[in-house]
A and B are shown apart, each in its own frame.
Chain A
């Protein structure tokens, strides 16, 4: 990798950045430095201030105090357009693409074009060139809504490159990508770095950071706590910086005796998404289900929870066959599902924490149709303590919480149900290391109480580290079951996950 000689000004220097929101000091004197051609990993737990920091680079927020110096010149971005104009491209987790427009139309959206007759042809050709430059093949004439997440991300990158960016910020770009797509993304990042573009890379996945970054900066509670070349540090050190304490093990799996099968699923079918899926989960067992995105993992969970209607198959809980007309029935039978997407499925963001907590528990919390609010407050207060949910008061709106705290509110509302079967769908996605650890402990706790736990995850280390048994799915079918988790390898799972079934 080519490095700029050290005597020139750094590409980016942020000094003493401070930013407060009502009631929160998000950033408290943060310094950050980036050389041209350098890939800097920005690490930190949720709520550490990473997003706030990059929003300032993107012109979405302005610092209360502190300087941003870009290639030796003081800069202040009042609008996103100003940031782009200065050569900073920020790709947020939520893409800014118009779903109905094609890739090239999105790339050149909002720019004043020459009104010539050949404009469209020119733009399309320019987009083609951009994709070639990053070695990507993206269908040019298809509306963006029909592109995969990975392809949409490539469109975002191409859009940034079309503005001749000097600095590219990627906020958790790998969260929704398959392993192969991540490899491709890394190749692009290396290519950009070789062209002296500085890259700030945000991710919770430490493996990736060791694979791609030159240097790592860690934020904690709005402060800059560490900065080191990637070669001079290791996983344990990074985790310690982020969390502020050492975690004994990353996956605190603890073994306990398994009982008889509690949940038995047989011949579950729903169109092409779920094809003849059968499995069982024992009392006290953690069953890990993995597979690529679109392999039908989530769909299976939704069928068991009654969220979708199955075409055929049976679900048996403790020997009793269930008829589920909807999630309400499943909850009554003692099944709960912690969905993957908290914001769109887990919480009603406009309601308060207390109201969200009570939602599935109202049958237990009501008398004559009235909500027993004092009881509700009491129950929630216990979870606020045990789960260490950070909220100023119970009447805080759910949308004002950080991702980790939102996840804990979701946990609280389901734990109150004390269900027999608990299904976690990607329980640690987008969650920082410390909170992950707490969720692992919780999964152990539930299993030790004799519940049947299903954990769906794309993170293979997590699946291997936390499950008693692993189910691998591919295109709606179960392609493998691994009983001996202790000797399972990621390669073994990936082989099953990409397996083509003979008809």
Chain B
């Protein structure tokens, strides 16, 4: 082969290996472009900034009124501004958090006390109130607001973390689904297993741990019980598929109904909310500024990638999907492997259920409806062949992100939900078409 041809081939391979990453980047760019708009800073950093601005313009002996609304972000803004102003020796007349009438009251009091209002630390909303102009010595031109800038809504850290957080449960379950689909199977029950695991864990904590007063130990055991429940169901799938040769589609379709029914039955169809705060740690809290579900997802993907690419287990899984008979005749313990793969998929679905109920701090038999479809979509969009034998873990992660980004982008640009479903369906179809084309060209 000539040198340029070889480079060309490598480029093609690179594009097909990382094609999904390119698609994801492209989508992110589109979403960024569509949501590019003026941003008004809020929160503590904005508070420090506006305080420094005032100090710089008016010097250290000015008197300042801080006017914000009642939101958490604005409180943080006000507190930071006050702290910074005092530190620089400025006088803070009042810190108003509320409506225009509160601001009027504060101004009247300050003026009555003989103070002069040199500046008003405000944000872009409170600065537009007309109340200041009712006092001749004040006026809205004394308002200082944090400098605005242009940036896409999509690319805000909070939004990106939100996307990762939203997709984490799908992505975690998609690990197991990828393995199952690589063996040319399918698991339709994962959505119902979410509900079952969630209800089992919540019931355990409520009935054996005393509900909201339950200890951390009981919560951990309850969550493990939910996961074991998923794993046991998965093992049942594996047994049916290997020993009784029932098609995976049928086994898991039946379980989709049975597991949902069981979840509704043991919970009497009720949501279980009497749970301690520790129950929410996995789903609600953050570590190092990153939501715990996102960290869990990242960790699991690293492990799954190593398992699938480096271990005997991974090699066997690919071999079974590629050609089950050839694999068996090469000494692959096919039945044991299939059992393991379905068990793992069930366990991960259970874990997904635990994360979801932790995030919402409830066990609910109605959790996880149609999750199986979104999980399978993520796997397929990520390039795993539904015919088995081919697929990559990181492909699935990218697939989950692609779906999450499209959904997020459509939400940010106010696409109506009915149209969103149409778009997602089309994306799934398109990704399979691209995959088929790619294979034909090889």
A-B contact pairs, 5 of them (CB 8 A): A328-B333, A350-B322, A359-B327, A360-B331, A373-B310
Measured in the bound complex, the distance between the Cα atoms of B332 and A363 in whole Å is 10
Decide if B319 touches A351 in the complex (CB within 8 Å): yes
Contact B331 A349 (CB under 8 A): no
Q: B328 at interface (Cβ–Cβ under 8 A)?
A: yes
Binary contact readout A341-373 vs B (1 if CB under 8 angstroms, 0 otherwise): 000111111110001101110110010011101
Which A residues are in CB contact (< 8 Å) with B312?
362, 366, 369-371
Interface centre among B1, B329, B389 (most CB of A within 10 A): B329
B48 at the interface (CB under 8 A from A): no
Q: What CA separation (Å) do A56 and B202 show in the bound complex?
A: 67
Q: Chain B 385-427, CB within 8 Å of chain A: the 1/0 string?
A: 0000110000000000000000000000000000000000000
Q: Are A371 and B311 in contact (CB under 8 A)?
A: yes
B389 contacts across to A, CB distance below 8 A = 348, 350-351
Closest Cβ–Cβ distance, residue B111 to chain A (whole Å): 77
B330:A327 contact, CB within 8 angstroms: yes
Tell me, in angstroms, the Cα distance from A328 to B311 when the chains sit together: 18
Give the docked Cα–Cα distance between A360 and B319 (Å).
11
A23, A337, A355: the one contacting B319 at CB < 8 Å is: A355
Interface string of A145-179 (1 = CB under 8 A from B): 00000000000000000000000000000000000
The interface on chain A, measured as residues whose beta carbon lies within 8 A of the other chain's beta carbons, has a size of 32
Q: Are B330 and A360 in contact (CB under 8 A)?
A: yes
Contact of A369 with B313 in the complex, beta carbons under 8 Å = yes
**Contact residues of B between 298 and 342, Cβ < 8 Å to A:** 310-313, 315-316, 318-319, 321-323, 325-333
Q: Which residues of B contact A359 (CB under 8 A)?
A: 315, 319, 327, 330-332
Check: B9 CB closer than 8 A to any chain A CB: yes
Q: Given contacts A366-B312, A370-B312, are A351 and B322 in contact (CB under 8 A)?
A: yes
A307 CA to B321 CA, complexed, in Å: 18
Q: Give Cα A332–Cα B332 distance, bound, in whole angstroms.
A: 12
User: A interface vs B, CB < 8 Å?
Assistant: 22-23, 305, 307, 326-328, 331-332, 337, 339, 344-351, 355-356, 358-360, 362-363, 366, 369-371, 373, 413
* Complex contact A348–B329 (CB within 8 A): no
Enumerate B1-38 residues with CB–CB distance to A below 8 Å. Answer: 1, 5, 9
Taking the closest CB of chain A, its distance from the CB of B246, in whole angstroms, is 20
Q: Are A305 and B313 in contact (CB under 8 A)?
A: no
The contact string, 1 if C-beta is below 8 Å from chain A, for chain B 69-82, is 00000000000000
Choose among B9, B310, B323, B331 the residue that contacts A348 (Cβ–Cβ < 8 A). B323
- B320-374 contacts to A, CB under 8 A, are 321-323, 325-333
CB-CB < 8 A to B316: which residues of A?
Answer: 362
- Closest residue of A by beta carbon distance from B8: A22
With A and B bound together, what is the CA distance between A346 and B319 in angstroms? 12
CB distance from A343 to the nearest CB of B (A): 9
Complex CA gap A349/B5 in Å reads 25
Q: Smallest distance from the beta carbon of B253 to chain A beta carbons, Å?
A: 26
Q: How far is the CB of A330 from chain B (nearest CB, A)?
A: 8
Count how many pairs of residues, one from A and one from B, have CB atoms less than 8 Å apart in the complex. 83
A432 to chain B, nearest CB (A): 23
- Contacts known (A348-B389, A358-B315); A371 close to B310, Cβ less than 8 A: yes
**Chain A minimum-CB-distance residue to B321:** A350
**What is the bound-complex CA distance between A23 and B6, given in angstroms?**
9
Q: Are B328 and A348 in contact (CB under 8 A)?
A: no
Which of B's residues lie within 8 Å of A, judged by CB? 1, 5, 9, 310-313, 315-316, 318-319, 321-323, 325-333, 389-390
Q: Which residues from B are CB-within-8-Å of A305?
A: 329
**Residue of A350, A369, A373 with most partner-chain B CB within 10 A:** A350
Nearest A residue to B313, CB-CB: A369
A369-B311, A369-B313, A370-B310 known; A348-B333 Cβ under 8 A: no
3 smallest CB-CB distances across A and B, nearest first, come from: A348-B322, A350-B322, A359-B330
Question: Nearest residue in A to B320 (C-beta to C-beta)?
Answer: A348
Contact between B326 and A328 (Cβ–Cβ < 8 Å)? Answer: no
**Which B residue's beta carbon lies closest to that of A305?**
B329
Chain B contacts for A349, CB-based, 8 A: 322-323
Q: Report A-chain residues with C-beta under 8 Å of the C-beta of B325.
A: 344-345
State A359–B327 Cα separation when bound (angstroms): 8
Please, which residue of chain B has its CB at the minimum distance from the CB of A413? Answer: B330
With A and B bound together, what is the CA distance between A381 and B374 in angstroms?
44
Flag if B332 contacts A23 (CB, 8 Å).
no
The residue in A22, A327, A332, A348 that gathers the most chain B C-beta atoms within 10 A of its C-beta is A348
Q: A344-B325, A359-B315, A370-B310 are in contact. Are A350 and B390 (CB under 8 A)?
A: yes
Are B318 and A344 in contact, CB atoms less than 8 angstroms apart?
no
Output the nearest chain A residue to B306 by Cβ-Cβ distance: A370
A407 to chain B, nearest CB (A): 14
Q: Nearest-CB distance from A329 to chain B (Å)?
A: 9
A332 to B310, CA, bound (A): 23
Q: Please pick, from B311, B318, B390, the residue contacting A355 in the complex, using a CB distance under 8 A.
A: B318
Please judge, given known A-B contacts A366-B312, A370-B311, whether A345 and B326 are in contact too, CB under 8 Å.
yes
> Measured between C-beta atoms, what is the minimum distance from B370 to chain A in Å?
31
Q: Contact between B323 and A344 (Cβ–Cβ < 8 Å)?
A: yes
Q: Whole-angstrom distance between the alpha carbons of A356 and B323 in the complex? A: 11
Distance in angstroms between the alpha carbons of A23 and B312 in the assembled complex = 32
Verify B313–A327 contact, CB threshold 8 A.
no
Q: Is the CB of A348 within 8 A of B311?
A: no
Q: Check A348 against B327 for contact (C-beta < 8 Å).
A: yes
The one of A327, A347, A355 in contact with B315, judged by C-beta atoms closer than 8 angstroms, is A355
Among A339, A345, A351, max chain B CB count under 10 A is at A351
**Is the Cβ of A347 less than 8 Å from the Cβ of B323?**
yes
Interface centre among B9, B312, B332, B389 (most CB of A within 10 A): B312
Measured between alpha carbons, how far is A326 from B311 in the docked complex, in Å? 22
Chain A residues contacting B1 (CB-CB under 8 Å) are: 22-23
Which of B5, B318, B319, B331 interacts with A328 by CB under 8 Å? B331
Among B9, B310, B312, B331, find the residue whose CB has the most chain A CB atoms closer than 10 A: B331
Docked complex Cα distance between A369 and B325 (Å):
23
9 new A-B contacts, CB < 8 A, other than A326-B328, A362-B315, are A326-B333, A327-B329, A345-B326, A345-B329, A347-B326, A350-B323, A369-B311, A369-B312, A371-B310
* Complex Cα gap A337–B330 (Å): 9
- Report B-chain residues with C-beta under 8 Å of the C-beta of A350: 318, 321-323, 389-390
In the bound complex, residues from chain A placing their C-beta under 8 Å from that of B313 are 369
Q: How far is the CB of A420 from chain B (nearest CB, A)?
A: 15
Could you tell me if A371 and B315 are in contact, using CB atoms closer than 8 angstroms?
A: yes
In the complex, what residues of B have CB within 8 A of residue A22's CB?
A: 1, 5, 9
Minimum Cβ distance to chain A for residue B16 (Å): 13
Known: A22-B9, A362-B315. A328 touches B332 (CB 8 A): yes
Q: Which residues of B contact A347 (CB under 8 A)?
A: 323, 326
| A351 and B329 contact, CB distance less than 8 A | no
Give the distance in Å from the alpha carbon of A332 to the alpha carbon of B333 in the complex. Answer: 12
Q: Give the residues in chain A near B315, CB-CB below 8 Å.
A: 355, 358-359, 362, 371
Closest to A367 in B: B312
The smallest C-beta distance from B435 to any residue of chain A, in angstroms, reads: 14
Give the docked Cα–Cα distance between A413 and B327 (Å).
13
From B335, which residue of chain A is reached at the shortest CB distance? Answer: A326
Tell me the minimal C-beta distance from A303 to chain B in angstroms: 13
Known: A348-B389, A355-B319, A362-B312. A331 touches B326 (CB 8 A): no
Choose from B9, B310, B329, B332 the contact partner of A337 (Cβ within 8 Å): B329
Assembled-state Cα–Cα distance A453/B323 (Å): 27
Of the candidates B5, B310, B322, B331, the one whose C-beta lies within 8 Å of that of A331 is B331
Bound Cα distance A384, B5 (Å): 25
A344 contacts B326, CB within 8 Å? yes
- Closest Cβ of chain B to A96, distance in Å, is 19
A423 to chain B, nearest CB (A): 11
Give the nearest-CB partner of B310 in chain A.
Answer: A370
- Asked if A327 contacts B318 (CB within 8 A), the reply is no
With most chain A CB atoms within 10 A of its CB, the pick from B322, B327, B333 is B322
Chain B residues, CB < 8 A from A327 = 328-331
Q: How far is the CB of A358 from chain B (nearest CB, A)?
A: 7
Checking A307, A355, A371 against B328 with a beta-carbon cut-off of 8 angstroms, the contacting residue is A307
CA distance A98 to B152 in the complex (A): 57
